[in-house]
Amino acid sequence: MKNKKILLAMIAIVLFIAAIIIIPRAGTKKVLRFPDIVKSPDLNTKTIIGTPLDLTLNSEKLAGQDSVVIKLNGQTLEKLTSNYQSVSVPTKDLALGYHRLDISVYDGDYSKTIDMPFYVVSDINPEFKTYTTLSTINRDIDAYTQGFEISDGILYESGGQFGLSLIRKVNPANGVVLKTEKISGELFGEGLTVLNDKVYQLTWQNGICLIYDKNLQLLKQTGFNSSNGEGWGLCNDGKSLILSDGTNRLMWLNPETMAIEKSIYVYAGQNEVRYLNELEYVDGYIYANIYTTEQIAKIDATTGKVITVFELKNLDKGNPKADVLNGIAWNPATKSFLITGKNWGKIYNMRL
């Protein structure tokens, strides 16, 4: 009897060891991590538009898996059932900015998905140019200029700062203020544009857009959306409003509903261009002051590529207490730009 018990115990031990070594159990499969699936590139890599992104898989770790499915921005790009080596991701038709690969590994009931964000950047390193001053105009220094645009021969200007924000009409030939309207002290005025005989004025962090007729009578106020809830610069392409919010994103808004219709992301070579402030749309390009600098970027409005950077150095602000460059108004009558800044005492008529 004793020998029988010992035998049964030995059999039980053998069966237990066999179960551990031989019989697969649910949950024992190795959990794959990012480096087990992808060898290169690293997360958040940058690739120049038109240059394929070479995705190298970890073929050793993936050997024996049933399949690997690769999606680009939610759309299936490749489904592999063997030869887990490398995949070429085309970028020539992608917009500049953020994109994402989702890489899913399947083996029986097991699956693992990792995401791999990457950025498509510009293939153009912008040319740096200077300016030609044609004339100067003295002006009133009371406006902390945030918006600057000519429509039907009148210069419309938006000024900022809490308690000091305003909107006004100015004679672009001599700088004489024709009409001024103050806005609520709770609002910080920002970018301005004129479209379909309406004047649109953004506010900074209030999420409010003020809409006037061309005589600056307030018609209504409405909300708007952006990346961060802020409004910076504003212009239009004849159909839609174009808004900046301090990021490198430019958004096209429906002027009736203020819904975002599309976006582009701005790059100079491989670098994001942030702090896009006062804006002006001219012939398919957006000219943007880069906040706190003496630079104006000329941006392809279709792609977001910065084509040219204009260096506006050594301008006399005409006011010792003046702030930074901010104000670009295209004058179709003279085919030149009016340029100014926050509380500047001068407007420059120049060619860029």
Query: Is this structure's pTM higher than 0.85?
Result: yes
CATH number given to 32-121: 2.60.40.10
Distances (CA, A) of 174 to 64, 171, 192, 338, 342: 78, 6, 21, 12, 18
Angle at 106 between CA 105 and CA 110, to 5 degrees: 110
Longest dimension (CA), the chain: 118
Q: Rounded to the nearest 5°, which phi and psi values hold at 7? A: -65, -45
Question: 35: burial class by Cβ within 10 Å (0-12, 13-18, 19+)?
Answer: exposed
Spatial strand order of the sheet with 189-195 comes to 189-195, 198-203, 208-213, 218-223
Q: Rounded to the nearest 5°, which phi and psi values hold at 102? A: -110, 120
Distances (CA, A) of 181 to 73, 164, 178, 216, 301: 47, 11, 11, 7, 32
Give me the pLDDT at residue 10, please.
57
CA distance 335 to 326: 20
Q: What is the pLDDT of residues 101-135, one digit of tens each?
A: 999 999 999 999 999 999 999 999 999 999 999 99
Q: What is the token pair recorded at 216?
A: 């600056």
* Domain 127-351 of CATH type 2.60.40.60: no
Distances (CA, A) of 339 to 218, 279, 289, 293, 315: 27, 11, 10, 14, 10
Q: Rounded to the nearest 5°, which phi and psi values hold at 224? A: -150, 160
Q: What is the token pair recorded at 115?
A: 């995401």
Answer whether 32-121 and 127-351 agree in fold: no
Non-local (6+) Cβ contacts of 213 within 8 A are: 197, 198, 199, 219
Peptide bond into 41 cis (omega under 30): yes
Distances (CA, A) of 251 to 53, 177, 232, 239, 305: 27, 31, 11, 13, 15
Enumerate the domain spans of the chain. 32-121, 127-351
The answer to whether 267 and 253 have CB atoms below 8 angstroms apart is no
Residues lower than pLDDT 70 in the chain: 1-30
The answer to whether 349 and 335 have CB atoms below 8 angstroms apart is no
Spatial strand order of the sheet with 132-138 comes to 132-138, 346-351, 336-341, 325-331
